[in-house]
Structure 1
């Protein structure tokens, strides 16, 4: 009994493992190795290096062949070499005042304004301050602030009228802005080009300008006993905004406004 017990205890110590090696199937394939993309990259680098070496070898061989050849002479010149004329060069003509843009931009704006036509009565020709320009609008405080934000520098205006009972009033204003950092003049022109509701018709480009425009009158303004038609024209020359307003008791045509602004631009 004691011997059998010892044999059972010995068998317990030398017990067979639960999973013996022969129980694992030998037909199961081993797990694949992880994909290594760098191997493909190294292969590409080897191919590229071989291609570069091949190009260098070909270029070297071509250079060696070309080096042994006799140089090909260049063809003669078709025309003779220019000859420097003898004597001093002719005097350069004096520049025109119209070609000096600084003289226009820094000069007297009053002298740039159109003269009053013959037969018309001049009603104004003077400098206008920032406050003067703002007073022409209903929202004068907003316009005053806007002019300041846009770098208002100075302004001048000429105004004349024709007729009495059936009058026609023309106003030409030159307003200069500071465009050192921003395109203030172009911004002001875009804002002024919008018609005042239905009082002006569609715009027509002013020839020779980038963004100039003319708008004839449409519906009149009701000024109590009188109905007033207003046509407008806008353009710019450098940092000077050109504004033309033609008003009257009769509709203002497109040609009437275009004629005034064209003459004003030609003068500048």
Structure 2
């Protein structure tokens, strides 16, 4: 039931000047309308419900963002506390000794072996890298009789070697699509290129020798590079024939172009030999205004294969 009147709870009001006088006469009771009058609860003072109970309970909800932040912070704190606790437990435990080796006799000798009893070094036949890890330029065939060193690049867009070396960029310039070739060399992990260029009695007679070495453990290296070059040689872009195998090699071949398919664009003659041994691929070119015999290119290919 709604109470008919509400009296001020405290008749003493504290003001700035101290305790004021009682004002019971100046504060008449507030008369409430009777129940069912329609005005109902509109004049019920704040903090008092219709049944005279105390103030209603108010539920305050936190914003979603702040709640998620608190949960995340609690999770991080729990994780860190767990790691710290686990680390503390591990540090208090005594160290566990490792199990003994399956072959405890495998130890280094206390002193080096006496002279004459050391194991013999591997031969070149057992480890071909002993030969190719040295100066690669020394593995290029010697200059044929009657030829001299070139003073101009053999290939139209190429460059002369510097002291017998070509950079991967300089080597890529010898191809029509030099950008693609350079990217290919980088992907194949090219190591170095040894080069030699010679000319004969006339500028039309030219010979170019390239030894291209790749780092071991690559995605294909010398094998893939040589096979990719030999793959297009039978087509019109290459020699236009299958070529002939190089004696002593299971993968090398030499080719003699026809005048119509010469790559210099001027109707000259062209011969080429390709092959690889280990991580080194060799590439030999002969250009001339006169027909080139198979013997000329075969001889150079067999000599180069023997040097590797």
**98 and 117 in structure 1: CA distance in 2 versus 1, 3 angstrom threshold:** farther
Gaps of 5+ in 2: 1-115, 151-160
Name the structure 2 match of 1:122: 149
Name the structure 2 match of 1:239: 279
Name the structure 2 match of 1:264: 304
1:199 to partner: Cα distance:
5.2
RMSD: 2.8
Name the structure 1 match of 2:53: none
**94 and 185 in structure 1: CA distance in 2 versus 1, 3 angstrom threshold:** closer
The alignment covers a number of residue pairs equal to 178
Is the contact between residue 198 and residue 219 of structure 1 (CA under 8 Å) also seen in structure 2?
no
Is the contact between residue 199 and residue 219 of structure 1 (CA under 8 Å) also seen in structure 2?
no
Alignment of 1:185 with 2:212, yes or no, is no
The one-character-per-residue Cα deviations of 1:189-231 (angstroms, maximum 9, x if unpaired) are 111112262651331111221211111111344757x432111
**Of 143-152 and 177-186, the range deviating more from structure 2:** 177-186
The within-5 A match list for 1:35-46 is: none
1:150 to partner: Cα distance:
1.1
Helix, strand or coil at the partner of 1:172 = strand
Is the contact between residue 228 and residue 248 of structure 1 (CA under 8 Å) also seen in structure 2?
yes
CA distance in 1, matches of 2:135, 2:222: 18
CA distance in 2, matches of 1:145, 1:237: 23
Is the contact between residue 217 and residue 253 of structure 1 (CA under 8 Å) also seen in structure 2?
no
**99 and 142 in structure 1: CA distance in 2 versus 1, 3 angstrom threshold:** same
TM-score normalized by the length of structure 1: 0.59
CA distance in 2, matches of 1:95, 1:105: 14
Alignment of 1:149 with 2:176, yes or no, is no
Is the contact between residue 141 and residue 303 of structure 2 (CA under 8 Å) also seen in structure 1?
yes
Gaps of 5+ in 1: 1-88
CA distance in 2, matches of 1:94, 1:184: 27
Which of 169, 172, 175 is residue 134 of structure 1 equivalent to?
172
CA distance in 2, matches of 1:94, 1:191: 36
1:102 to partner: Cα distance:
2.3
**212 and 183 in structure 1: CA distance in 2 versus 1, 3 angstrom threshold:** same
Which of 171, 174, 177 is residue 211 of structure 2 equivalent to?
174
The one-character-per-residue Cα deviations of 1:156-214 (angstroms, maximum 9, x if unpaired) are 1111111216x321111000012314332111011111226265133111122121111
CA distance in 2, matches of 1:210, 1:246: 22
Alignment of 1:197 with 2:236, yes or no, is yes
**158 and 99 in structure 1: CA distance in 2 versus 1, 3 angstrom threshold:** farther
The within-5 A match list for 1:24-103 is: 101-103=128-130
CA distance in 2, matches of 1:238, 1:229: 31
The one-character-per-residue Cα deviations of 1:238-263 (angstroms, maximum 9, x if unpaired) are 00001110111122222211110101
Structure scoring higher RCO (CA < 8 A, sep ≥ 6) equals: 1
**261 and 139 in structure 1: CA distance in 2 versus 1, 3 angstrom threshold:** same
Name the structure 2 match of 1:111: 138
**254 and 172 in structure 1: CA distance in 2 versus 1, 3 angstrom threshold:** same
